[in-house]
């Protein structure tokens, strides 16, 4: 697995992301900061999309991208709020979402994540020989973590193994906004980190559950997006990704049952049912997804 290639390609995609056309009327775009509503928005540069929320005395951020873009975020967020209470949630452990943690910590942010994230982050850092650069969450939770700055209730929830073994959805209940981290790659072939605890079956269940917990007015922020579709959307986008993952497993299962080899299964480059999916590289591609589906189906069943 070439993680440097993975991070580079995700960074390029995120840098080109923008608000979905269907939501532009409700957004005031200043780039790279984009407002949604209720003092809440997102920041799109290099890496996974950062979410943000401010009150008179609190700044809450979601994910930290890289050290250099974290500096840009922290400088810019001062235009929205400078509260003495500062909190950073990590949605999961991947480098394009946590490599700016140290920069946030230096700016007096408390870091919060699911209890599996620091260990997954440590393994990743050990593999890259970057343990001395790692900054992990000092506060962890097993199922959910709740805080209530101002009139908002923020709830970080863990739903089980999906994109990784430590993904959280961060809900802003009064604003009716949820940050999905990398639980949605909007019309992109996703990274499915099986070595980091991913479960396609679990991911499908999670998307159905989170879609049911929202409503027609919920705005979801995504970790990455096809530039034509953006990094925000609604419950239909969650269900579209659910349908893609379901088809991925069903297609792979049928190919296995037909006696095809792993190599033959990986020859498929796209699905006719999902023509809008973008593959920016071989790393983020349908063959990579098929390989993980093949592993999940064959390793778990025998």
- Domain span at residue 150 reads 17-182+192-238
- Write the CB contacts of 258 (distance below 8 Å, at least 6 apart in sequence): none
Q: What backbone phi and psi angles, to 5 degrees, belong to 78? A: -60, -20
Q: pLDDT tens for residues 106-120?
A: 999 999 999 999 999
Establish if 95 belongs to a structural domain. Answer: yes
Task: Report the CATH number that the domain containing residue 109 is assigned in CATH.
Answer: 3.60.15.10
Q: What is the pTM of this model?
A: 0.90
Q: pLDDT tens for residues 180-198?
A: 999 999 999 999 999 999 9
Establish if 211 belongs to a structural domain. Answer: yes
Establish if 62 belongs to a structural domain. Answer: yes
CB 264 within 8 A of CB 162: no
CB 52 within 8 A of CB 60: yes
Establish if 173 belongs to a structural domain. Answer: yes
Establish if 209 belongs to a structural domain. Answer: yes
- Which residues lie across from 225 on neighbouring strands? 186
Rounded average pLDDT over 259-282: 96
Rounded average pLDDT over 232-253: 98
Output the six-digit token pair for 130.
């970057």
Q: How confident is the model at residue 206 (pLDDT cuts 50, 70, 90)?
A: very high
Tokens 């942010």 -> residue:
109
Establish if 243 belongs to a structural domain. Answer: no
Establish if 67 belongs to a structural domain. Answer: yes
Q: How confident is the model at residue 82 (pLDDT cuts 50, 70, 90)?
A: confident
Total domains in the fold of the chain: 1
């Amino acid at each position: 697995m070439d993680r440097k290639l993975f991070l580079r390609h995700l960074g390029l995609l995120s840098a080109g992301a923008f608000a979905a056309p269907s939501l532009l009327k409700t957004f005031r775009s200043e780039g790279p900061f984009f407002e949604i509503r209720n003092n809440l928005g997102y920041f799109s540069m290099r890496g996974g999309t950062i979410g943000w929320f401010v009150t008179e005395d609190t700044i809450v951020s979601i994910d930290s991208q890289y050290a250099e873009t974290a500096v840009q975020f922290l400088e810019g967020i001062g235009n929205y709020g400078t509260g003495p209470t500062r909190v950073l949630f990590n949605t999961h452990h991947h480098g394009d979402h946590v490599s700016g943690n140290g920069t946030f910590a230096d700016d007096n942010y408390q870091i919060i994540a699911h209890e599996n994230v620091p260990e997954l982050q440590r393994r990743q850092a050990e593999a890259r020989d970057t343990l001395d650069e790692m900054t992990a969450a000092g506060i962890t939770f097993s199922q959910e973590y709740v805080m209530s700055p101002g009139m908002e209730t923020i709830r970080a929830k863990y739903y089980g193994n999906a994109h990784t073994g430590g993904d959280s959805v961060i809900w802003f209940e009064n604003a009716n906004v949820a940050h999905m981290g990398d639980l949605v790659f909007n019309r992109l072939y996703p990274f499915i980190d099986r070595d980091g605890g991913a479960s396609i079956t679990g991911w499908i269940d999670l998307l159905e559950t989170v879609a049911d917990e929202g409503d027609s007015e919920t705005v979801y922020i995504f970790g990455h997006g096809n530039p034509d579709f953006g990094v925000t959307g609604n419950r239909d986008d969650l269900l579209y990704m659910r349908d893609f993952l379901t088809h991925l497993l069903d297609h792979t299962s049928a190919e296995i049952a037909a006696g095809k080899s792993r190599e033959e299964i990986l020859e498929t480059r796209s699905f006719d049912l999902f023509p809008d999916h973008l593959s920016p590289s071989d790393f983020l591609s349908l063959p990579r997804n098929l390989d993980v589906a093949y592993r999940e189906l064959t390793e778990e069943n025998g």
